[in-house]
């Protein structure tokens, strides 16, 4: 695997730090607008603890403010919002990104397992600029699963995770650590990390038991910068150092680092990245809200981030109103942005209706009253290898001396899902559920037909089913005749079935 570290350079960069809940898409876009070079995102840990394969780049948009329906087109890009969403099984959007940040967003994950980390990284790598591993989170919810700062005391695991990621994906890999109890231990660890081939190392200059208000150890970040040749990204300066843009460079110099990563100072006012100096908080908040509405950010998250910006002003009239707001519309009212809210939501809803109309066109194509519809899906795991509902249907048609089943498949442009209609004895059948591939859609149509006709579908659970018995007889006949050169061309006849447990394979005497 060629590691592409040229695409994202970590030298001389002002970087938005990963911040769970804060670093969602609107905040990242705003930071980029104000001049951040790279933005890190953090994803709540729950999907990574779950089986990663349930966590999909998807066509579905969880119900948000606008209750937009699934609106996906090419490659999972949601047409209405123009985003790529990764969604947990409960339909919750765990990571939303868009083209605008694609070359500058680094996806941070919490992990304690190299293979799972790789699986997640592969899932997202085409939509991000880099992958980061969180090795600094001291919170119990991370450390008790061996993630975050718990990794700092397990260098072998660190090496295994980072080497697996560096070898396994094409995007640059970084990690974010905290410092260890002694300088020697810290230097020894970062040297090990450097050898894994990571593109950069972000160092939060505090020990894992130190709180954010404790002074940051610039001397240790400096010692790390001198000890390794990869870029070191200094972090931890918001409290003591970074009050305005020029402080970013001062912090970089004090730590001898290549780049600076900012968390709290950016959370309080993302215009910290602006070379010309910070903007008025009121204007910053309005810009933030625009992105939040535009990208259908959940109102609770929007409110949380705005509260972080208001800080001491939370007790004033505006702060109290924000606290009381129960929807994005109410948040917009607090900031006198009702007009913007109405215009934007109308625009998004308009786009949504257009897409619904396109859907309707496709639905009309298959909306034939003569079609018998059943809500079924094909799940390969329910069938013995090489036995499929299509085969069962074909065999049944042969037995009944009917013409072969005919499949017609339609692809829905909106989400590129497929629906197949099978015609058997002049009757049409389809599943009402749309499938990811033409093959699956055809199998589902076959099931719809078999189930309507009360015929066996070939499942493991039908161990004594008609098809398996028949196949057993056929195979036995072939064996007896020594006829292995059969050239029958159908799926149903040229593959040797594997029989379900409990059904003896007749080929073995």
Active site residue 137: yes
Residue whose entry in the numeric block shows the structure tokens 């076959």: 446
Q: Interface with ligand FNR by CB under 6 A: which range of 47-55, 231-239, 294-302, 459-467?
A: 231-239
Give 176 or 222: the residue with its C-beta nearer to ligand FNR. 176
Of the residues 264, 294, 428, 459, which one makes contact with ligand FNR according to CB under 6 A = 264
Helix (H, G, I), strand (E, B) or coil at 82: coil
Does the footprint of ligand FNR cover residue 173 (CB under 6 A)?
Answer: no
CA-closest candidate to residue 417, choices 395, 440, 435, 391: 435
- In angstroms, give the least distance from the CB of 290 to ligand FNR: 22
Q: Interface with ligand FNR by CB under 6 A: which range of 28-36, 122-130, 229-237, 470-478?
A: 229-237
Which residues are CB-neighbours of 172 under 8 A, at least 6 positions away? 3, 4, 5, 7, 8, 10, 129, 130, 131, 198, 199, 200
A 10 A CB-CB count for 344 gives: 18
Q: What are the b/e assignments for 451-476, b being 16+ CB within 10 Å?
A: beeebbbbbbebeebebbeebbebbe
How many residues sit close enough to ligand FNR to count as binding (CB under 6 A)?
Answer: 23
Does the footprint of ligand FNR cover residue 237 (CB under 6 A)?
Answer: yes
What's the distance, CA 502 to chain centroid? 41
CA distance 25 to 393: 49
Q: Hey, which residues between 29 and 48 contact ligand FNR (CB under 6 A)?
A: 42
- In angstroms, give the least distance from the CB of 279 to ligand FNR: 19
Does the footprint of ligand FNR cover residue 22 (CB under 6 A)?
Answer: yes
Of the residues 58, 134, 258, 345, which one makes contact with ligand FNR according to CB under 6 A = 134
CA-closest candidate to residue 251, choices 193, 205, 208, 214: 205
CA distance 1 to 101: 25
Residue whose entry in the numeric block shows the structure tokens 């018995």: 469
Of the residues 10, 16, 18, 302, which one makes contact with ligand FNR according to CB under 6 A = 18
Which residues are CB-neighbours of 437 under 8 A, at least 6 positions away? 418
Cα–Cα distances in angstroms (integers) from residue 157 to residues 76, 181, 196, 204, 308, in the given order: 33, 19, 12, 20, 35
Does the footprint of ligand FNR cover residue 263 (CB under 6 A)?
Answer: yes
116 exposure class (CB count in 10 Å sphere: 0-12, 13-18, 19+): middle
- In angstroms, give the least distance from the CB of 216 to ligand FNR: 7
Q: Interface with ligand FNR by CB under 6 A: which range of 13-21, 334-342, 347-355, 381-389?
A: 13-21
The residue from 41, 98, 137, 419 that is catalytic is 137
Does the footprint of ligand FNR cover residue 235 (CB under 6 A)?
Answer: yes
Does the footprint of ligand FNR cover residue 254 (CB under 6 A)?
Answer: no
**How many CA atoms lie within 13 Å of 441's alpha carbon, on the beta-carbon side?**
21
Q: Interface with ligand FNR by CB under 6 A: which range of 257-265, 293-301, 475-483, 494-502?
A: 257-265
Of the residues 104, 176, 274, 430, which one makes contact with ligand FNR according to CB under 6 A = 176
Q: Hey, which residues between 65 and 124 contact ligand FNR (CB under 6 A)?
A: 108
CA distance 104 to 93: 20
Q: Interface with ligand FNR by CB under 6 A: which range of 117-125, 237-245, 291-299, 337-345?
A: 237-245
Does the footprint of ligand FNR cover residue 236 (CB under 6 A)?
Answer: yes
Does the footprint of ligand FNR cover residue 239 (CB under 6 A)?
Answer: yes
Dihedral sign, CA of 409, 413, 417, 419? Answer: negative
Of the residues 26, 62, 136, 138, which one makes contact with ligand FNR according to CB under 6 A = 136
Catalytic residues: 137
Chain residues binding ligand FNR by CB under 6 A are 17-20, 22, 42, 108, 134, 136-137, 176, 204, 212, 235-239, 262-265, 267
């Amino acid at each position: 695997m060629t590691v592409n570290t040229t695409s994202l350079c970590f030298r001389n960069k002002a970087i938005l730090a990963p911040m769970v809940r804060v670093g969602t898409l609107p905040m990242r876009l705003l930071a980029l607008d104000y001049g951040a070079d790279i933005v890190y995102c953090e994803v709540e840990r729950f999907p990574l603890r779950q089986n990663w394969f349930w966590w999909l780049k998807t066509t579905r948009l969880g119900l948000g403010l606008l209750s937009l329906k699934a609106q996906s087109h090419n490659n999972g890009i949601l047409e209405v919002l123009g985003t790529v969403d990764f969604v947990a099984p409960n339909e919750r959007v765990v990571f939303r990104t868009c083209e605008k940040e694609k070359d500058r967003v680094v996806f941070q994950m919490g992990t304690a397992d190299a293979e799972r980390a790789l699986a997640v990284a592969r899932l997202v790598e085409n939509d991000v600029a880099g992958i980061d591993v969180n090795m600094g989170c001291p919170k119990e919810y991370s450390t008790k699963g061996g993630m975050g700062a718990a990794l700092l005391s397990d260098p072998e695991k660190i090496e295994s995770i980072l080497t697996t990621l560096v070898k396994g994906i094409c995007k640059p890999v970084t990690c974010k650590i905290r410092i260890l109890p002694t300088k020697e231990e810290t230097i020894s660890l970062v040297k090990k990390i450097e050898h894994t081939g990571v593109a950069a190392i972000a160092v939060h200059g505090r020990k894992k038991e130190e709180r954010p208000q404790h002074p940051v150890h610039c001397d240790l970040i400096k010692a790390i910068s001198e000890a390794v040749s990869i870029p070191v990204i200094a972090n931890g300066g918001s409290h003591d150092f970074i009050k305005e843009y020029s402080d970013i460079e001062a912090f970089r110099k004090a730590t001898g680092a290549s780049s600076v990563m900012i968390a709290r100072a950016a959370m309080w006012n993302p215009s910290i990245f602006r070379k010309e100096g910070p903007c008025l908080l009121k204007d910053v908040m309005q810009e933030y809200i625009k992105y939040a509405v535009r990208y259908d950010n959940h109102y609770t998250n929007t409110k949380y981030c705005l509260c972080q910006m208001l800080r001491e002003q939370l007790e004033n009239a505006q702060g109290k109103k924000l606290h009381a707001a129960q929807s994005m519309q109410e948040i917009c009212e607090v900031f006198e942005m009702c007009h913007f809210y109405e215009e934007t939501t109308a625009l998004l809803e308009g786009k949504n209706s257009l897409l619904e109309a396109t859907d309707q066109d496709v639905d009309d194509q298959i909306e034939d009253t003569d079609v018998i519809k059943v809500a079924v899906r094909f799940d390969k795991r329910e069938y013995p290898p090489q036995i499929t509902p299509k085969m069962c249907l074909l065999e049944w048609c042969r037995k009944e001396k009917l013409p072969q089943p005919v499949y017609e498949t339609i692809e829905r442009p909106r989400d590129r899902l497929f629906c197949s209609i099978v015609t058997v004895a002049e009757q049409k059948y389809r599943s009402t559920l749309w499938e990811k591939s033409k093959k699956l859609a055809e199998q589902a149509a076959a099931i719809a037909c078999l189930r309507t006709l009360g015929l066996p579908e070939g499942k493991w659970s039908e161990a004594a089913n008609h098809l398996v018995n028949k196949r057993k007889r056929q195979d036995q006949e072939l064996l007896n005749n020594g006829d292995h050169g059969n050239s029958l061309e159908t799926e149903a006849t040229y593959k040797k079935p594997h029989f379900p447990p409990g059904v003896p394979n007749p080929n073995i005497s």
